[in-house]
Amino acid sequence: MGKIERADALIGQVPFAITDPERIPAKRYYDEEFYKLECERLWPRVWQMACRLEEIPNVGDFVEYKILDKSVLVVRTEGGIKAFHNVCRHRGMRLAHGHGNCEAAGLVCPFHGWRWNMNGENTYVLEPGLFSKEVLAKAEIDLKPCRVETWGGCAFINFDHDAAPLRQCIEPFATMHDRRHVEKMRVEWWLAASLPCNWKLAMEAFHEGYHVMRTHPQLLPAQVRGAKARYFQMPGSGSTGYSQSLTYKTRQQVVEGSIKYMKRLNEGMAGMIHARDVAVAEDLRDMELPEDVEAAKLAWNLRLCEEITRRSRAAGLDAPDFTQVDAEMMTSGVNFCFPNYFLLPIYGNASSYRIRPTGPETCLFELWSLTLMPEDEKRDPPRAPTPMRHDDPSWPPIPKQDYSNLPDQQLGLHAGEFDYMILSRDVEGLISNYQRLIDGFLAGVEQKKLVAAMSKVNGGIDEPIKDLGF
Ligand code: FES
Ligand SMILES: [Fe+2]
């Protein structure tokens, strides 16, 4: 693919703009000016996953979401989910930290005790007679609302009053995952890492399966590891990395390879594929399969999906029909939602990531392990974890492997003779696509074009470079 036609001359004004889609300037990952532009022109204008709704299960529950120097309180009210800028209208105190419930006592400013109900209406000012009437007008002292919409069991906020509605900005990602009932999934565990790298670099470690061969060799069948490792895209599914059918010679190998892979993924992510799914596969191990390897693979996957569906439903879970979900091949193994959210669904489970910048060369990387749970089961709301170091020995093996590359990559980018990364046009295209979408935001490209570009960026990984239309 040659240079993409740039209709918008504005992009040329962005420092370190991408002018060749196969080359990403290194300075985008550490230059202070570029970072500042992202803070000013990207983050205030995008939908950001602010919390999981299960963090605020009861009326009056609130949780704080922080991005850069901003803080927002997401509140569950009788009338639905609301969000407010976390600042006292009197003299600018941050009203609350972390989480809590404001149904009975309201939100109380720690400085002079002004108070608000969960709908953001001011209910108390100490000695109002000390103030001019005008400055205490309702519009002056009610909390400032922030835009909030919900999808997939999460609240998303946006600081931009003029942004397109959430759903428009996260398609086709939303539709792909609705089929999998992700909104019914609940948190099994939630961990966070502070990483010594730019937020985009951290995300890009999950934007392609091309690194699996070297970084996660345990996920490959033994017969194709090392020098024999190859990278194949699986047609349709866009799924990671290598095609097992190319390496399996017998139907027994299909079954054993599949079970082994399920176990590795379960151990590697401390979830994703769950022990209960592995148990289904173990129980089906001796099922009759056609002699032909391709046919055996299809029959095995179909039976596995059927049986996982049946058992999930018998356990009271609101599971979709996984045979249908599998046949539709709408999601790939890893799916990205611009600007910083991921879902990695498999059967009735998913891993989920959110990555926020904390400086030009540091970021916060959160991981959730999600799974379908019975609706009526009593659970404590999940709480934000204390971030761990990227090299903490307690990380599950797969993220540990991904994180181990990032600090050295961030350092490498500073090498004097390194001007730009080069990308595979066929399978590392997502990195180029979403980075050029960022340029669209930084350049002030019109919203209609940005929304259209988002629909080309949201979705599976291992994508080719695409023309975004600007
Ligand atoms: S700053 Fe909040 S009540 Fe004064
Ligand atoms: Fe990885």
Give 300-334 pLDDT, tens digit per residue: 999 999 999 999 999 999 999 999 998 888 888 89
Q: With 70 as the cut, is the pLDDT of residue 91 above it?
A: yes
Q: Looking at the CA of residue 91, tell me the nearest atom of ligand 1.
A: 1
- Listed residue (100, 191, 189, 170) closest to 373, CA to CA: 189
Judged by its nearest atom, the ligand closest to the C-alpha of residue 210 is 2
Which tens digit of pLDDT belongs to each residue from 12-49?
889 999 999 999 999 999 999 999 999 999 999 999 99
* Mean pLDDT estimate for the chain: 92
Ligand 1 contacts CB of residue 112 (under 6 A): yes
Residues 364, 425, single domain; the answer is yes
Pairing of strands 362-372, 388-389: unpaired
DSSP string across 345-357: EETTEEEEEEEEE
What pLDDT was estimated at residue 246? Answer: 58
| Cα–ligand 1 centroid distance for 136 (angstroms) | 13
Residues 178, 135, single domain; the answer is no
Q: With 50 as the cut, is the pLDDT of residue 296 above it?
A: yes
Residues 200, 224, single domain; the answer is no
Q: How far apart are CA 441 and CA 79, in angstroms?
A: 33
Is the N-terminal amide bond of 172 cis, ω within 30° of 0? yes
* pLDDT confidence band for 280 (50 / 70 / 90): very high
Q: With 90 as the cut, is the pLDDT of residue 226 above it?
A: no
What pLDDT was estimated at residue 271? Answer: 86
What pLDDT was estimated at residue 68? Answer: 98
Task: Give every CB contact of residue 367 below 8 A, 6+ residues apart in sequence.
Answer: 190, 191, 192, 193, 351, 352, 353, 399
Residues 148, 185, single domain; the answer is no
For residues 159 and 44, the answer to whether their CB atoms sit within 8 Å is yes
The two structure tokens encoding residue 232: 């194949």
| Cα–ligand 2 centroid distance for 340 (angstroms) | 16
Judged by its nearest atom, the ligand closest to the C-alpha of residue 111 is 1
Domain that holds residue 60: 49-156
Ligand 1 contacts CB of residue 111 (under 6 A): yes
* pLDDT confidence band for 245 (50 / 70 / 90): very low
The two structure tokens encoding residue 190: 């939630």
Which tens digit of pLDDT belongs to each residue from 161-215?
999 999 999 999 999 999 999 999 999 999 999 999 999 999 999 999 889 888 9
Residues 41, 83, single domain; the answer is no
Substitution site in 84, 87, 90 for ligand 1 pocket (most atoms within 8 Å of beta carbon): 90
User: Is residue 18, in this structure, part of any structural domain at all?
Assistant: yes
The structure tokens 């999808």 sit at: 151
User: Is residue 336, in this structure, part of any structural domain at all?
Assistant: no
Ligand 1 contacts CB of residue 126 (under 6 A): no
Q: How far apart are CA 12 and CA 389, in angstroms?
A: 38
CATH number at residue 67: 2.102.10.10
CA 299 to chain CA centroid, nearest Å:
32
User: Is residue 333, in this structure, part of any structural domain at all?
Assistant: no
For residues 346 and 337, the answer to whether their CB atoms sit within 8 Å is no
User: DSSP letter at 292?
Assistant: S
Ligand 1 contacts CB of residue 83 (under 6 A): no
Tell me which of 283, 310, 328 is where a domain ends: 328
Number of structural domains found in the chain: 3
User: Is residue 347, in this structure, part of any structural domain at all?
Assistant: no
Q: With 70 as the cut, is the pLDDT of residue 1 above it?
A: no
| Cα–ligand 2 centroid distance for 399 (angstroms) | 7
Residues 111, 251, single domain; the answer is no
Residues 272, 221, single domain; the answer is yes
What pLDDT was estimated at residue 458? Answer: 98
Ligand 1 contacts CB of residue 88 (under 6 A): yes
What pLDDT was estimated at residue 390? Answer: 95
Average pLDDT over residues 103-121: 97
Ligand 1 contacts CB of residue 116 (under 6 A): no
| Cα–ligand 1 centroid distance for 110 (angstroms) | 7
* pLDDT confidence band for 237 (50 / 70 / 90): very low
Q: How far apart are CA 356 and CA 29, in angstroms?
A: 14
Ligand 1 contacts CB of residue 91 (under 6 A): yes
Q: Provide the terminal-to-terminal Cα distance of the chain, rounded to the nearest Å.
A: 16
What pLDDT was estimated at residue 328? Answer: 87
User: What percent of the chain shows pLDDT beyond 90?
Assistant: 81
Q: Name beta bridge partners: 195.
A: 363
Q: How far apart are CA 243 and CA 259, in angstroms?
A: 15
User: Is residue 468, in this structure, part of any structural domain at all?
Assistant: no
Q: What kind and span of H or E run contains 434?
A: helix 429-443
Q: With 80 as the cut, is the pLDDT of residue 381 above it?
A: yes
Judged by its nearest atom, the ligand closest to the C-alpha of residue 213 is 2
| Cα–ligand 1 centroid distance for 84 (angstroms) | 16
Write the single-letter amino acid at 212: V
| Cα–ligand 1 centroid distance for 126 (angstroms) | 10
Q: With 90 as the cut, is the pLDDT of residue 270 above it?
A: no
Q: With 90 as the cut, is the pLDDT of residue 101 above it?
A: yes
User: Is residue 409, in this structure, part of any structural domain at all?
Assistant: yes
Residues 232, 284, single domain; the answer is yes
For residues 171 and 455, the answer to whether their CB atoms sit within 8 Å is yes
Q: Whose CA is nearest to atom 3 of ligand 1?
A: 112
Q: With 70 as the cut, is the pLDDT of residue 223 above it?
A: no
Residues 38, 185, single domain; the answer is yes
| Cα–ligand 1 centroid distance for 73 (angstroms) | 17
Ligand 1 contacts CB of residue 115 (under 6 A): no
Tell if the pTM clears 0.85, that is, is over it.
yes
Residues 74, 152, single domain; the answer is yes
Q: With 80 as the cut, is the pLDDT of residue 8 above it?
A: no
Which tens digit of pLDDT belongs to each residue from 251-263?
998 899 889 889 9
Residues 122, 85, single domain; the answer is yes
Substitution site in 85, 86, 94, 111 for ligand 1 pocket (most atoms within 8 Å of beta carbon): 111
Residues 217, 321, single domain; the answer is yes
Tell me which of 328, 348, 370 is where a domain ends: 328
User: Is residue 165, in this structure, part of any structural domain at all?
Assistant: no
What pLDDT was estimated at residue 227? Answer: 58
Q: Name beta bridge partners: 366.
A: 192, 354
User: Is residue 222, in this structure, part of any structural domain at all?
Assistant: yes
| Cα–ligand 2 centroid distance for 156 (angstroms) | 26
Ligand 1 contacts CB of residue 90 (under 6 A): yes
Ligand 1 contacts CB of residue 353 (under 6 A): no
Q: Whose CA is nearest to atom 1 of ligand 1?
A: 91
